[in-house]
Chains A and B, each alone.
Chain A
Amino acid sequence: MKKLSFSIFGFWILAVLAGRLFQLNPNHIDLNAILSLPNATYLLGADDLGRSILARLLRGVEVSFLVAIIVTAVTMTSGVLIGLIAGFYGGKVDQILMQITDIFLAFPGILLAIAFAAVLGPGLGNLMIALCITGWVSYARLTRGQTLSLRNRQHVQAAESLGASVPRLILRHILPLLASILVVEATYSLASVMIAEASLSFLGLGIQSPNASWGAMLRDGVRYMLVAPHYVLIVGLSLMSLILAINLGGDYLRDKFDVRTEK
């Protein structure tokens, strides 16, 4: 599974690099090639505007990676910070922060993202803002739970007795113990952000034409499912393979960091 995960992931990284190397143009329109099947000129066929599906797939995966990495970084940072503060200080601070978190948790994440994206308007920047607004919650809950437990560990109390400052306690004595869990969570988050980005673009709230995105490609592909099934199949399988690879990678990391599994 580990090999499969890294192979698929590696394939997409190499493919993106190759796309850049060969300067594939994802926006070149060829009206004579509309919905053409895979051929020598268009290796994966052409879309409803005669654009290369291969070039658009590669540009689309770049966008997916970009969105996933930025959104995961922002949501992880903010979520972990909120969780640490809530867990470390407890009491009223914890109550208020967790009530805010619960409000966000009360809505299905993707619906909330759709609502924010609709209010903010379509576009890459707004899409990332919408995903960031909704994505920090799981990190905050996870971090807060772990911090509550770590806060009372003997080494933390010992450091506190020796006069260690709060930032030092958090950064040196609590956060390192959270790292493995957060890395695993971040891996799963990458996959869910990619799916969320594709979903919002599918609904027309994400990346705007003519920029390539897998969600928008899926949406266009569905319209031509009867006449050019290869279009939607290629994009669907690509998305599935990448998400599968990331999730398998997450499973591998979880097992790797889990002491019981190691034993």
Chain B
Amino acid sequence: MLISACTQQNSSAQLHRDIVFAIAQAPLNLDPRYATDAASERVNRLIYQSLVDFDAQSKPVASLASWLAVSPTEYRFKLNKIRMPFHNQAPLNASDVKATYDSLATLKDSPHTAEFANIKNIEVIDNDIVVFHLKQADRHFPAKLIIGILPADLIAKNQDFSHQPMGSGALKFISWQNKLSLQRLKDCQKISLLEVKDPTVRVLKLLHGEVDLLQGELPPELVKYLQTKPEIIVKTSVGANFSYLGLNMQDPVLQNLKVRQAIAHAIDRNAIIAKVMVSSTRVASAILPPEHYTNHSSTNHSSTNHANLPVYDYNPTLAKQLLIEAGVKQPLKLVYKTSTDAQRVRFATIMQAQMQPAGIDLEIRSLDWGTFFEDVKQGNFQLYGLTWVGIKTPEIYVKAFGSKSVPPNGFNRGRYTDAELDALLANENWPAATTRIHNQLPYIPLWYEGQFAAMHKQIKHYLPKSDGNWDDLATITKP
């Protein structure tokens, strides 16, 4: 009914009020079974509905369905009584859920397939109820069901969802040529996502009124510049995406904990944040931010709010002393690999200068993204810089630091092996695991980069989110 309300007449009346959102990178794939890049996942959250979502503390919560853990290997999901149909007006039923997750198991080239290999079978009880039977117990299984639900009949017809998406989310797909055009169901508001790679051009387009808003991906100087413009409003929020230095734990020098501690004490995070990052950036201590529910756990294990984690403050004298105690020759020569992204190279250059008085001679190698990421996956590095984006579940600790999670079985790119940590992870003692990781430093934690969105003053009801999602495109208005 809502879709049919968006008549041709209404649409043309709205035309001059289209909201244009400038983005640095266009989505690559609008099929949620394949999408892995941030832009695609952010758009897919708006086009599709998933069974489960996350609350502010990253706890999995009911979205399209509520669930009951019948046993550790059986989860029963009941779809909401009142729910949106697909954008082609077909009803969304339990059979669509089954078809979506069944199709994931058969896809050969989906990066998400392995995640669902534990599903034994999916049983449809009726239109509203679907039961997942697992091969092995998984307490965190519901948190994985965040893939957008697709219509069963179109899956059977092998529809190309990557370019012709059909979901049941707040925004309906219209077209995708130079820009991605979407339409909000509740009021027929058209929203266009326009790729503008260059940050300066993005800012100029915003100032000239060619676009209505932009979010993130700007040097802080340009954010400050926009804040001086009376017609522009800049909204900020804290971030939850974790930036870090990854260390190769197979490297004979970096295997020494004192060397890792020296590196941690040789970086002045506060100075970098104050001078070359947006104001809402926070110093990080662990992958999951302080507000994450695992840091407030009141069951079984002691809680940690990052407050009891040791602080690695900038202390080049201490760093030098640690290197002496480690018995390494100074200056310690290390190679740091990063992408060619200008802001990344900027961070690297500052860290290079900060490490010098600590007796560390950092050589920067900025490589194109493909080469850089391949090197990281292959373990071909001493140090590298990356950011974890959109991490919600504590299982990331297992995937990033578990002894059995070396690529391709996980993301333990530094080849870290620690029996004590493995035991903590097996017991899901997240606070103790967080502390252990922080003490052992397989990663040097850096910061959670602050989020911001800049928009024209008449734009309302849009706020940047800590993980950078674009969910407020479902509520944004332009008078």
Residues of A at under 8 Å CB distance from B?
27-29, 31-32, 34-35, 48-49, 122, 204, 208-210, 219-220, 222-228
B221 touches A209 (CB 8 A): no
Cβ of A29: which chain B residues have Cβ within 8 Å of it?
Answer: 349-350, 353
Among A35, A208, A226, the one with the most B-chain Cβ atoms within 10 Å of its Cβ is: A226
Which of A28, A32, A208, A223 is close to B219, meaning CB atoms less than 8 Å apart? A223
Contact indicator A31/B276 (Cβ below 8 Å) = yes
A227's contact among B225, B274, B342, by CB below 8 Å, is which? B225
* Cα A204 to Cα B367 with chains together (Å): 9
Is the pair A209, B349 in contact by a Cβ cutoff of 8 Å?
yes
Nearest residue (CB) in A for B342 is A223
Produce 1/0 per residue, B349-389, CB < 8 A to A: 11011000000000011100000000000000000000000
Partner of B200, one of A27, A31, A49, A223: A223
Some 29 contacts from A to B, beta carbons below 8 A apart, are A29-B349, A29-B350, A31-B271, A31-B274, A31-B276, A31-B350, A34-B275, A34-B276, A48-B219, A48-B276, A48-B346, A49-B350, A208-B366, A209-B345, A209-B348, A209-B349, A209-B366, A210-B349, A222-B200, A223-B200, A223-B219, A223-B342, A224-B219, A224-B222, A226-B204, A226-B225, A227-B221, A227-B224, A227-B225
CB neighbours of B346 from chain A (8 A): 48-49
Hey, which chain A residues are within 8 Å of B276, CB to CB? 31, 34, 48
Nearest Cβ in chain A — how far from B273, in angstroms? 11
The verdict on A210 contacting B200 (CB below 8 Å), with A49-B350, A223-B342 known, is no
Considering the chains assembled together, what is the distance between the CA atoms of A220 and B350 in angstroms?
A: 15
Knowing A31-B275, A48-B221, the reply to whether A204 touches B340 (Cβ < 8 A) is: yes
Query: Is B149 in contact with chain A by the CB < 8 A criterion?
Result: no
| Pair count A-B, CB < 8 A | 59
Q: Pick from B204, B219, B352: contact of A210, CB below 8 A.
A: B352
B199 CB–A CB distance under 8 Å:
yes
A29 nearest in chain B by CB position:
B353
Q: Which of B204, B221, B224, B225 has the most CB of A within 10 A?
A: B221
Distance, CA A226 to CA B203, complexed state (A): 9
Nearest A residue (CB) for B199? A223
A56 to B51, CA, bound (A): 56
Closest to A122 in B: B366
Known contacts A204-B366, A210-B349, A228-B221; 5 additional CB pairs below 8 A are A34-B275, A49-B349, A209-B345, A223-B219, A225-B200
Docked CA distance A39–B399 (Å): 51
* Nearest-CB residue, chain B, relative to A216: B345
Q: How far is the CA of A204 from the CA of B366 in the complex (A)?
A: 9
Nearest A residue to B274, CB-CB: A31
Whether A226 lies near B364 (C-beta < 8 A) is no
Chain A residue, CB-CB nearest to B225? A227
Give complex CA distance A48, B347 in Å: 11
Q: How far is the CA of A225 from the CA of B348 in the complex (A)?
A: 22
Given the complex, which residues of A lie within 8 Å of B200, measured CB to CB?
A: 222-223, 225-226
| Closest residue on chain B to residue A35 by CB atoms | B221
* Contacting residues of chain B (325-355) with chain A, CB-CB under 8 angstroms: 340, 342, 345-346, 348-350, 352-353
Task: Across the interface, name the chain B residue whose C-beta is closest to A228.
Answer: B221
Docked pose: A122 CA to B274 CA in angstroms: 31
Chain A neighbourhood of B199, CB < 8 A: 223
The chain A residue with its CB closest to the CB of B275 is: A31
**B345 cross-chain contacts in A, Cβ below 8 A:** 209
CB distance from A235 to the nearest CB of B (A): 16
Q: What's the least CB distance linking B272 to chain A, in Å?
A: 8
- Distance of A225 Cα from B366 Cα, bound (Å): 23
**Contact residues in B for A34 (Cβ distance below 8 Å):** 221, 275-276
**Which B residues, 233 to 276, have Cβ-Cβ distances below 8 Å to chain A?**
271-272, 274-276
Report how far A122 CA is from B203 CA in the complex, Å: 30
Are A27 and B342 in touch, CB under 8 angstroms?
no
Give per-residue flags for B52-63: 1 if the beta carbon is below 8 A from chain A beta carbons, else 0.
000000000000
Which chain B residues numbered 299 to 345 have a C-beta less than 8 Å away from chain A? 340, 342, 345
Listed from nearest, the 8 A-B pairs whose CB atoms lie closest are A31-B275, A29-B353, A227-B221, A227-B225, A210-B349, A204-B340, A209-B349, A209-B345
Minimal Cβ-Cβ distance residue in A for B218: A223
B27 to chain A, nearest CB (A): 25
Q: Which residues of chain B are near A49, meaning CB under 8 Å?
A: 346, 349-350
Please encode chain B, from 196 to 226, with 1 for each CB lying within 8 Å of some chain A CB and 0 for all others: 0001100110000000000000010110110
Cα distance, A49 to B220, chains bound together (Å): 13
Give bound CA distance, A228 to B200, whole Å.
12
A225 to B221, CA, bound (A): 11
**A227 x B222 contact (CB < 8 A):** yes
| Given A34-B276, A49-B346, A210:B222 Cβ within 8 A | no
**A204 contacts which chain B residues (CB < 8 A)?**
340, 366
Nearest-Cβ distance from residue A208 to partner chain B, whole angstroms: 7
